[in-house]
Structure 1
Amino acid sequence: MHLSPRPAALATAAASLVLAAGCTASGGQGTGPKADAPQTITVWHGWSADAEAKAFENAVAGFRKAHPNITVKVVKDQTDDRITNAIRGGNPPDVVASFTTDSVGQWCQSGAWQDLAPYIKKSGVDLAQFPKAVQDYTQFKGRRCAMPLLADTYGLYYNKALMKGEQPPKTMSELTALAKKLTVRDPDGTIKVAGFMPSVQYYEHVPQHIAPQFGIRWLTPEGKGGFSGDPNVAAYLKWNKELIDWYGYANVKKFLRSMGQEFEASNPFQKGKVAMAVDGEWRTMFLKREAPKVDYGTAPAPVADDRAAQYGGGFIAGTVMGVPRGSQHAQAAWEFVRFLTTDTAALVGLANELGNVPSTIPALASPDLRLPPQFATFLQIFKHPASTTTPPTPNGNDYVVKFQQFVQDQWEPGRVRDLDASLRDLDNRIDKSLQLNGG
């Protein structure tokens, strides 16, 4: 979500963010002085690099001009754990921003982040300015405790020189055929250039970003584990394993061990070692900064062959903002949240400086956006009706983590003998975890 290294999907352990039911912090909607009274609010966000922090301060400048009575104290580099501990301890800031949309279910259900519905209604904020997927990841079971601030949108990057005139694939069968055609090997099978690396251990090729292109539903309508009853899960796994086996699992592991760091110049796509890769919109900024000579294009990620009508969509997540329980200036805090998440100039400024997608439909069309031509793909994916996100739960992304662990540790190495039984076991473990957390 930002230019500093981002945590991998498996790193967002749900257990680290579970809030105790008995949070001691008090305060709720309408508490504290009125928004037009002189006061100071404290804002915590997770951006850490100097350029990122400056971009946030530039956006805040617009709020300060519009609300001269409110002094804003900004604190950078704040993690979700620090936010959680401050709420538990009854001494939270007035506004919090997090990169972890997977935790919205926990925050909403526990009340750790206040219900914003009364503020939204009173302010007349039109939620239709946000795409449906964005509306989905900022609420849980009808309780909207977060507002979106910028977005991550995932699409396909392709190296034009390595593509040799080929057009970007639109279906998974096209992707597979082109991956094989573009792959270059040594005589012993070692992968010199991967047409496309299917392993979930390849950076952003985690199930959360690619499996939605097969239409998987993640959970049942009742909020239970839904992997065993979803034929699209089996379709995703079959595609993954067939391409893994074509490369050879040992060759895949060898290639993975040779990769550079995702957020350094040694990233294999930037070094011409990968022809096509699924990645977030921020990669355009890294390429501009670290590999300006790479001639590349972008396109929506391919979809399963039976989902051609959904081509153009992709996975969406993003930064969220909220007012924590215990805020001593809740009304002024809401005015700050409302401004940063709906003001077009503020969002466009952040998008230009951070290289993320502005999170309202009006901001997408702003003539003031100054982003690389390849960025336009992600603006289109963001507002595409087929774009999706992972559903929130009371224990965060635990079900996503468990599925990725299954794919990484059992499926890709070929250790699964009975897929149906394995997926039923996975669903049972997911359900037990959800029950322990009030799901």
Structure 2
Amino acid sequence: MPVAFFWRKAIAGATLALAAAACQSNPETAETNAATTAAASPLTAGTWRGVLATQDQQIPFLFDVATDDGQPTVTLRNGEERLKLDEITTAGDSTTIKLGVFDAALVVRAAGEGKLTGAWVKYDAGKPYRVPLTAEKGAQPLFPVMADQKVLSFDGTWKVSFKDDTGNTYPAVGVFTQTPAGVTGTFLTTTGDYRYLSGQADGNQLMLSTFDGSHGFLFTGRQPGSTTPDNATRLEGDFYSGLTGHETWTAVKDANAKLPDASALTGMKSGQKKLDFSFPGIEGGTVSITDPKYKGKVVVVQLLGSWCPNCMDETNFLAPWYAQNKQRGVEIIGLGYERASDDEATAKRKLTKMKQRLNVGYDLALAGTADKDAAGQTLPQVQKVLAFPTIIFIDKKGEVRKIHTGFSGPGTGQYYAQQNAEFNKTMDQLLAE
């Protein structure tokens, strides 16, 4: 994921009183209060449509409410993705839904039968971060569409260019699948993908959104000019992210569109072949690349952050891979780069939660803050850190053989499969040496 979006400056604005109260305390506070306050949750079983109101836009998302052992659970739905949320507490008229591994929550209360109001709250943003939220129960389309309107086809692969509000541009590839039920797909960039997007086509308009707990994204696109063709060939649109993130984008249909080689974007500095680091482990002690545990083994060093959805996608691949392959003489070290607002204890707590929820069996250490330049300073042998996540492949001699920038998650389909096949090919080659 382009790091620019992780570091947009949040602006404080007047929002719901409920949201303001929610942001004054850590989610653990609500959990403590809930232990002494008996209250009924406003969440009732069924499908709900939520809407985040930000930047004069509406970012819609769907979620299901169910009951597990007498307790409500919420499952976010993004295309084929299902994200189950089971840390839910109610105190008074306020219900807090913790958003998985992320230090964020939905804080809601009833607003009439089958309706909710509240906010999406991020506790680690450094400044107040509250996005007003409403939700309504009942099967509904993600985006409303006009009836009896000719719909263009946006299906296929697109060569895309994004431009931020400062004029900086970066390349991307859009991949969309369109059916009568709607449009799904994603955008791939050199630093990661925008995960599972879903939405609708309406005339010459394309509307896509996602909400994974850490990010709320809205993409709007349109074919300029005539709506006569059956297939769109050019697009222009806007990309809204959370409170303040905004970019524009243009695209042309191109079945051969591709990104630069992710393994050629950065490397080691001239004359450098080995990493040299020692960081505090999240379970005590230190984790050093020179530890005897790693000597003579193939080692994968993963740069990640618990705040980063692409990093969670990569970890969901690496954790089971390590469990199945560690006996082959391979180790993985996860280096965590957390929010600048976190103290060491808080950062370790977040990484520990991630380790537990994703069943991570390899070593994790706290390496620094979630800033590319700062991360580069913690690994001075590397030319530069371009993205979270990044993977560094080290051979049995302790020498760096390849650095892979970014990660294409399961929402990218064939690109995800190709990337993981390349990972396995690299590991097989290094293990065979």
Task: Return the TM-score normalized by structure 1.
Answer: 0.27
Higher relative strand content: 2
Higher relative helix content: 1
Q: Which has the higher contact order (CA 8 A, sep 6+)?
A: 1
